[in-house]
Amino acid sequence: MKKTRLLVILLVLLGTGVGLFFLIRSHRTLTAEQAPTQVAEGDETKPVAQVQTVSIERKSISEKLTAYGSVVAQPGKTHFVAISFESRVQHILVSPGQLVKPGDTLLEVQGSPASLLQLHQAEATAQEASKELDQARKRFDMKLATNQELNQAQKAASDAELQLESLKTQGVAADDRIRSEITGIVAKVDVEDGQVASAGTPLVELIATGDIEIKLGVEPEDVAKLQLGQRVGISLVNNPATSEIEGTVRLVTQRVNSADRLVDVFVSVPQGIKLLLAAYVRGEIIVASRETLVVPRDAVLPDDGGYTLYVVQDHRAIKKTVKVGLQTDSQVEVIDPELRDGDQVVTVGNRELGDEMQVKVLR
């Protein structure tokens, strides 16, 4: 009986020991599995941003103001073709835009009925004055007229003859051909076939080939940037394949044109340049130019009314608050005393960056 009880006690102790062994072993295994997770959870790793960078460059940058306009005649350089008596236009022989040379016929005219009547009256007056002069001489020879009366008759005859010769010289008596006196372009024909034109009325307007310039329209807020003598690159809008023409600002008007609400700016072009009148052109006015630190436009970000960029140093993005100067479509001048030529600035990925953030530069 005692042996049986002892055996039971040994079995119980043995089972308890085995159970305790497996319990301890299970606890150790669980602890070993959880330990890496806890370490990982406790490790405070910082994010690494992937970015692309470029070098800051010190080079020349020019800020340009783009404006559009047309080819016009220089003020006061239009040549008006007119005649001094009332006339009737018989034939117009030129068209607007036509190139003419000295001696080329522009149009044919003849005296109007009123001018012809004036001519006939002048002829009759001259004949009558000549008769009066003959009679005055006869009376003077007969001591029936004074020197004063003879002088008055002589003056009347001379004036009448001068008037008649003037009308004949002007071409009132016959068909007349009006010819060009310059090499130029027909800017405008002011009359039509059969039209009666008053004395002194412009018949044709000519512009010498060297008397053209460019008129550009500039926004009023940009006028403060303009100065006389600034260089302007002129290109034809409808023919972009042509070479750019370099002109200079000749005049900046101080009023807003009521037609297009822009300010007129006149640009001189070199002599010998052949441009079509009224041709549509684009002008790029260089308002400022200097050598400075330049970065791509994508590197500069607006920030609370200012501008920032990120410089990569020791694999970290350092935030810099900068001022911007001259600008083009692709580049910006940056102003900061700490920036240097060759510094690496972020151009791609900079919108997600923060100051001192770790970065990896992609090549």
Inside any domain, residue 8? no
Contact between residue 197 and residue 178 where contact means Cβ atoms under 8 Å apart: no
Q: For the whole model, what pTM was predicted?
A: 0.58
Inside any domain, residue 14? no
Phi-psi domain of 272 (left: phi exceeds 0; alpha: psi -120 through 50; beta: other): left
Q: Which of 207, 232, 257 is the last residue of a domain?
A: 207
- Dist. CA 239–CA 279, nearest whole Å: 10
Within this chain, do residues 91 and 152 fall inside the same structural domain, yes or no? Answer: yes
List, in sequence order, the alpha helices (H) in 92-172. Answer: 113-141, 147-170
- Dist. CA 260–CA 239, nearest whole Å: 24
Within this chain, do residues 285 and 299 fall inside the same structural domain, yes or no? Answer: no
- Looking at the chain, how many residues does it have? 363
Contact between residue 37 and residue 43 where contact means Cβ atoms under 8 Å apart: no
Contact between residue 53 and residue 361 where contact means Cβ atoms under 8 Å apart: yes
Within this chain, do residues 246 and 276 fall inside the same structural domain, yes or no? Answer: yes
The alpha carbon dihedral of 237, 239, 241, 242 has a sign of negative
Query: What are 252's two structure tokens?
Result: 């900046």
Within this chain, do residues 87 and 202 fall inside the same structural domain, yes or no? Answer: yes
Within this chain, do residues 277 and 296 fall inside the same structural domain, yes or no? Answer: no
Within this chain, do residues 95 and 157 fall inside the same structural domain, yes or no? Answer: yes
Within this chain, do residues 116 and 224 fall inside the same structural domain, yes or no? Answer: no
Within this chain, do residues 217 and 324 fall inside the same structural domain, yes or no? Answer: no
Choose among 52, 106, 49: nearest CA to 83: 106
What is the chain's pLDDT, residue by residue, as a tens digit (363 residues)? Answer: 555 666 656 665 666 665 565 556 554 544 444 433 333 343 356 678 999 999 999 999 988 999 999 999 888 888 888 887 778 888 999 998 888 999 999 998 887 767 666 777 777 888 888 888 888 888 888 888 788 888 888 888 888 888 777 767 666 665 578 899 888 889 889 999 988 888 888 999 998 877 889 999 999 999 999 999 999 999 999 887 888 999 999 999 999 999 999 999 999 999 878 788 888 999 999 998 899 999 999 999 998 889 999 999 999 999 999 999 998 889 999 999 999 999 999 999 999 999 999 999 997
Inside any domain, residue 34? no
Within this chain, do residues 242 and 132 fall inside the same structural domain, yes or no? Answer: no
Q: Which of 289, 307, 322 is the last residue of a domain?
A: 289
Q: What is the CATH number of the domain that holds 160?
A: 2.40.50.100
Q: What is the CATH number of the domain that holds 245?
A: 2.40.30.170
Inside any domain, residue 152? yes
Please give the pLDDT value at position 6.
Answer: 60
Phi and psi for 103 in degrees, rounded to 5? 95, -15
Within this chain, do residues 203 and 216 fall inside the same structural domain, yes or no? Answer: no
- Dist. CA 266–CA 251, nearest whole Å: 5
Q: Which of 289, 323, 353 is the last residue of a domain?
A: 289
Which residue range is the domain that position 166 belongs to? Answer: 80-207
Inside any domain, residue 130? yes
Inside any domain, residue 11? no
Within this chain, do residues 89 and 140 fall inside the same structural domain, yes or no? Answer: yes
- Dist. CA 14–CA 7, nearest whole Å: 10
Q: What is the DSSP string of 212-256?
A: EEEEEEE-GGGGGG--TT-EEEEEETT-TTSPPEEEEEEEEEEEE
Residue type, 119: L
Q: What is the CATH number of the domain that holds 350?
A: 2.40.420.20
Inside any domain, residue 110? yes
Inside any domain, residue 134? yes
Query: What are 109's two structure tokens?
Result: 């005219």
Total of domains in the chain: 3
Within this chain, do residues 108 and 201 fall inside the same structural domain, yes or no? Answer: yes
